[in-house]
């Protein structure tokens, strides 16, 4: 009986979320790289983001906006990871469209005149 209770407890607490395949996106001349789930990204679940930047570059508050439909502005706050890596989590809500195009803009703080002050790219989601 105890074994059955233990197995039931384990099965109820098992995390069934699957690891999403990751894509690496070159945002600027192989010096600014974003890793995120492959497109189309799923909706209504945590999407891990990892940003690799040159030394001395810091990401500011990023914004995600709907391209194919107005969805407001979704802020993304980056946290320092290891070395020149930053991480964040993105949550995209569902809407009436089953497929959406999104635009992410990442402002960058630095003093290097050879680097952009922000990077922007588009990606897609699917319900």
pTM as predicted: 0.82
Name the phi and psi angles at 126, rounded to 5: -145, 135
Tens-level pLDDT at each residue, the chain (127 residues): 443 333 333 333 333 356 889 999 999 999 999 999 999 999 999 999 999 999 999 999 999 999 988 889 999 999 999 999 999 999 998 878 889 999 999 999 999 999 999 999 999 999 8
Contact status, residue 102 vs residue 93, Cβ threshold 8 Å: no
Q: Which residues of 38-48 are buried (b: 16+ CB within 10 A; e: fewer)?
A: eeebebeeebe
**Domains of the chain: residue spans and CATH:** 21-126 (2.60.40.1930)
């Amino acid at each position: 009986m105890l074994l059955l209770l233990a197995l039931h407890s384990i099965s109820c607490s098992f995390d069934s979320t699957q690891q999403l395949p990751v894509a690496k996106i070159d945002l600027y001349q192989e010096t600014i790289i974003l890793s995120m789930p492959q497109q189309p990204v799923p909706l209504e679940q945590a999407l891990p983001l990892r940003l690799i930047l040159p030394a001395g570059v810091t990401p500011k508050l990023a914004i995600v906006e709907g391209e194919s439909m107005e969805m407001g502005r979704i802020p993304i706050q980056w946290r320092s990871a290891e070395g020149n890596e930053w991480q964040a989590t993105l949550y995209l809500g569902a809407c009436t469209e089953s497929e959406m195009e999104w635009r992410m803009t990442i402002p960058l703080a630095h003093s290097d005149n050879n680097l952009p002050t922000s990077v922007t790219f588009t990606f897609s989601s699917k319900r």
